[in-house]
Amino acid sequence: MRGFRGMLLGLMVSVGAVAGAKAQTVEIEYWQYVFDARVKAMNELIKRFEAANPTIKVKQTTFPYADYQTKIAAAMPAGQGPDVVQLFYGWLDNFVGAKFIQPLPRDAFPPAAIEKDFYPIVSAMKRDGEYYALPTAVRSLALFYNKKLFQEAGLDPNTPPKTVDELLDMAKKTTKRDGAGNMLSAGITLDFPGQDYHWWRETLLRQNGGAPYSDDNKTVTYNSEAGAKSLNWYADLQRVHKVGQVGFMDEGQAAFRAGRAAMTIDGSFRLGAFGGIKAFEWGVAELPASADGKKANFASYWVNAITTKPTGEKLEAAKKFLAFVTTPEAMQLWLETVGELPARKEAAETEKNLNHPVYGPFLKALGYSHATVFVDEMAQRQVSLDMINRVLLQNQDAKAALAEAAKAEQPILDRFYKK
Amino acid sequence: MNASSSRVDAQSGARLSSGLSMRQKQVLWAWSFLAVPVLFYAVVRFYPTLEAFWIATTNWNLLTKPSFIGLANFKRLMADPVFWQVFRNTALYLLLGTPISLLLAFTIAYHLDRVRFLHGFIRALYFLPFLTTAAAMAWVWRWFYQPVPIGLFNNLLAGLGIAQQPFLRSTTQSLPAVLAPAIWAGLGFQVVIFMAGLRAIPTTYYEAARIDGVSNGTILRRITLPLLKPTIVFLVVFSSIGFLRIFDQVYNMTSQTSSDPGGPLNATKPLVLMIYQTAFSSFDMGYAAAQTVVLFLVLLAVSLLQLRLLRDR
């Protein structure tokens, strides 16, 4: 009996010793999905953070994108999971609803400072006056154009289109067909499932005076005159002007990369892939404005948030880490490693960045970008795809297509906000 | 422990085993060997199957706790136009796929059975697609269907001066276009099974028929087909289940990094793909489980019906 008691005492002492040692270095866990450049950038940030905070260790865990949400959902209720987590901005409501993440502590992240320093699109992270997450980097859309094809068509390779009318004109000039009328090279790629559905919803629609959703995001509002006008304009690129064709070369970005499309609209995240193009020179331009000069763009981003798991010391460590990965320094590193744009105006709008031939157009767009608040990104995307398919494949009238899409999308919003 | 107590143990052990009959011992042995696979199946197959029935009655997005909502998921399913479209597609895959593939496989097997020259080589060629990964094959076919200048079929058509066909970009042509490689992929397996069935028919029947001067057509109808019935039953059930749960071909031929699996306009979407999307893209687990239950019932009904119809009278 005495032996047992002694053993227990010994055990308690050693547990105490381990706990004591732990108090000196706090380990927190960070989760994100696997994407080489992002993992590399985060490793570098962690290295710098640990050098500045020797008592904190950060462990990075990554998962394939397809499993990412499922893993978080499985780990969090079991009390495992991360202390700081990366999530897509569109998932925020689900994460808040499930009590996975906590509001950012006001002492370390005062809302007024966030609103002053970050681009206005981060307001999508605010619920009932509290911010829940902050981005390191954001992405926007721009027009990529093939300078070689521009030159071949007799256009100035350094003057990309500034308005949608110019875009159409240049697309007409750069489209190539064989004798039977089959497309050999597109003027502009039409890839609605790619980025075009964002281009239509947040750019073309707004340029025509419409808005995709009501301000509280609970009602579909694209079923309007502006909706029909913008959808017709987009569909006419294929229907009337035949400067692009859905499915040409399988995907828009594949067509552009193969040198078989003069223009394509894509995100800053495509820079890495297009960087490998050797056969021709390409340029980047801001999305064309409407004829009356109205500009609009779509921004999306991944954010970092503190989960409900850490308390006490770990919470303090998590706060420090989150603050660190949202510093201008971290953002510049992220831009250079991943190609994603800084979320702070101060970090983004340096002379060097704004005049950068590739980053510049994306950065300029951040001031007039909207981040769509999705409740079920995949289902909502499907509604848009079906809409454009009905117009292009079944010749449905744009107004009827919009009405049908609104009828399909409204229940998705209703189901979510009813909860 | 001492020697005497262990002797007692041994004696009682001996009494216990001698108390069992030979048959009981065999059963005991059989079950102790079966225990591992039975347990495995119970945990990874049967338990989740039963669990799916329960999840089907809940509203669950993985993140929050499932809440019981009765039959609401099934009601939503019945009112969902996409579900009926998908149901129709699944039926089309089955009703087109099974007869066409069996007819082709039988025709090939029937004639291949008579070919002596390079027999093994030709048979291997037919079997080859069956060995290929469905995803790889689907991607090759997907490129076959592309428009000019990269699509094989459309380049051929354009070369002959015929208008391009939209294939996968059409609501009417896409389902057959997806079905074709699925049939092609399964053909080799069916041919081999049919040939085994043909070889199993005793040659004496054919000899007797020839002596009687019976025509080839009659031999086929009166001897070959009736005696092939077990083979046909097996292949019908097997390929029906295959077409009812078609997924790889559709997913790989209609989706890309950011696209429209089962499209355009759900024209190629089978039930399994709808379940996958509901569960792992929309994270609507309850609704997905309800769809799974429906698929389970359909598979069950189709299999039972076929077994009954094709059963020996």
Q: For A120-145, write each residue's pLDDT tens digit.
A: 888 889 888 899 999 988 999 999 99
**Residue B11: exposure state from Cβ atoms within 10 A (0-12, 13-18, ≥19):** exposed
Work out the average pLDDT over B144-171: 88
Token pair in block for residue A32: 């994100």
Q: Over 90: is that where the pLDDT of A103 sits?
A: yes
Q: How many interface pairs between A and B have CB atoms less than 8 angstroms apart? A: 84
Q: Over 80: is that where the pLDDT of A19 sits?
A: no
Q: Kindly report the CA angle at B292 between A390 and B234, in degrees rounded to 5?
A: 100
- Nearest partner of A368 among A249, A286, A312, judged by Cα: A286
Among the residue ranges A19-23, A40-44, A79-83, A346-350, the one predicted with the least confidence is A19-23
Output the DSSP codes for A170-194.
HHHHH-EE-TT--EEEEEE---III
Place of tokens 């993992």: A39
* pLDDT tens per residue, range A168-214: 999 999 999 988 888 999 999 999 888 999 999 999 999 999 999 99
CATH of domain A191-243+375-419: 3.40.190.10
CB B126 within 8 A of CB B209: no
Question: Looking at this protein, which amino acid is placed at residue A189?
Answer: T
| pLDDT (0 to 100) of residue B283 | 82
Q: Over 50: is that where the pLDDT of B1 sits?
A: no
Higher pLDDT, A281 or B302: A281
pLDDT category, A6, cuts 50, 70, 90? low
The verdict on A411 touching B (C-beta cutoff 8 Å) is no
The proportion of chain B whose per-residue pLDDT surpasses 90, expressed as a percent, equals: 46
* Probe site for chain B from A389, A392, A412 (most B CB atoms < 10 A): A389
Largest CA distance in chain B: 99
pLDDT category, B15, cuts 50, 70, 90? low
- Chain A neighbors of B258, CB-CB under 8 A: 193-194
Output the DSSP codes for B226-268.
HHTHHHHHHHHHHHHHHHHT--HHHHHHH--TTS-TT-STTTT
Token pair in block for residue B266: 């759900």
Q: Over 70: is that where the pLDDT of B13 sits?
A: no
| Average pLDDT of chain B, as a whole number | 87
- Chain A neighbors of B265, CB-CB under 8 A: 386, 389-390, 393-394
- Chain B neighbors of A382, CB-CB under 8 A: 260
> Does B283 sit within 8 Å of A98, measured CB to CB?
no
| pLDDT (0 to 100) of residue A324 | 95
CATH code 3.40.190.10 region(s) in chain A = 27-139+300-370, 191-243+375-419
Q: Which residues pair with A220 in a beta bridge?
A: A213
| pLDDT (0 to 100) of residue B16 | 55
CA distance B282 to chain A (A): 6
The verdict on A75 touching B (C-beta cutoff 8 Å) is no
> Does A98 sit within 8 Å of B63, measured CB to CB?
yes
pLDDT category, B162, cuts 50, 70, 90? confident
| pLDDT (0 to 100) of residue B2 | 47
What residue ranges define each of the domains in chain B, with the CATH number in brackets?
Answer: 3-55 (no CATH), 72-309 (1.10.3720.10)
pLDDT category, A4, cuts 50, 70, 90? low
The verdict on A98 touching B (C-beta cutoff 8 Å) is yes
> Does B266 sit within 8 Å of A193, measured CB to CB?
no
Output the DSSP codes for B166-210.
-GGGSTTTHHHHHHHHHHHHHHHHHHHHHHHHHHHS-HHHHHHHH
The verdict on B149 touching A (C-beta cutoff 8 Å) is yes
pLDDT category, A51, cuts 50, 70, 90? very high
Token pair in block for residue A235: 């569909």
CATH-assigned architecture of domain A27-139+300-370: 3-Layer(aba) Sandwich (3.40)
The verdict on A277 touching B (C-beta cutoff 8 Å) is no
Which residue among A97, A250, A386 sits closest to B265, beta carbon to beta carbon? A386
CB B163 within 8 A of CB A181: no
Which residue among A247, A382, A386 sits closest to B147, beta carbon to beta carbon? A247
pLDDT category, A10, cuts 50, 70, 90? low
Residues 252-311 of B with CB under 8 A from A: 256-260, 263-266, 277, 280-283
User: Could you tell me the CA-to-CA distances from B66 to B48, B57, B63, B286 in Å, in that order?
Assistant: 15, 9, 9, 8
- Chain A neighbors of B150, CB-CB under 8 A: 249-250
The verdict on A393 touching B (C-beta cutoff 8 Å) is yes
* pLDDT tens per residue, range A382-405: 899 999 999 999 999 999 999 999
> Does B147 sit within 8 Å of A248, measured CB to CB?
yes
| pLDDT (0 to 100) of residue A193 | 84
Largest CA distance in chain A: 99
- Chain A neighbors of B170, CB-CB under 8 A: 393
* pLDDT tens per residue, range B236-280: 988 998 999 899 889 888 876 446 788 788 899 999 999 998 888
Q: What is the CA radius of gyration of chain A?
A: 25
| pLDDT (0 to 100) of residue B55 | 92
* pLDDT tens per residue, range B187-213: 999 999 999 999 999 999 999 999 999
User: Could you tell me the CA-to-CA distances from B104 to B53, B97, B137, B222 in Å, in that order?
Assistant: 38, 11, 20, 20
> Does B169 sit within 8 Å of A100, measured CB to CB?
no
Q: How many angstroms from the chain centroid is the CA of residue A182?
A: 35
Q: Over 90: is that where the pLDDT of B293 sits?
A: yes
Higher pLDDT, B282 or B159: B159
Q: How far apart are CA A105 and CA A115, in angstroms?
A: 15
Nearest chain A residue to B154 by CA distance is A182
Residues 340-369 of A with CB under 8 A from B: none
> Does B260 sit within 8 Å of A180, measured CB to CB?
no
Nearest chain A residue to B80 by CA distance is A408
A297-325 as b/e: b if 16+ CB within 10 A: bbbbbbbbbbbbbbeeebbbbbbbbbebb
The verdict on A378 touching B (C-beta cutoff 8 Å) is yes
Cβ atoms within 10 Å, residue A219: 14
pLDDT category, A7, cuts 50, 70, 90? low
Higher pLDDT, A262 or B254: A262
The verdict on B61 touching A (C-beta cutoff 8 Å) is yes
| A376 DSSP 8-state letter | S
CB A248 within 8 A of CB B166: no
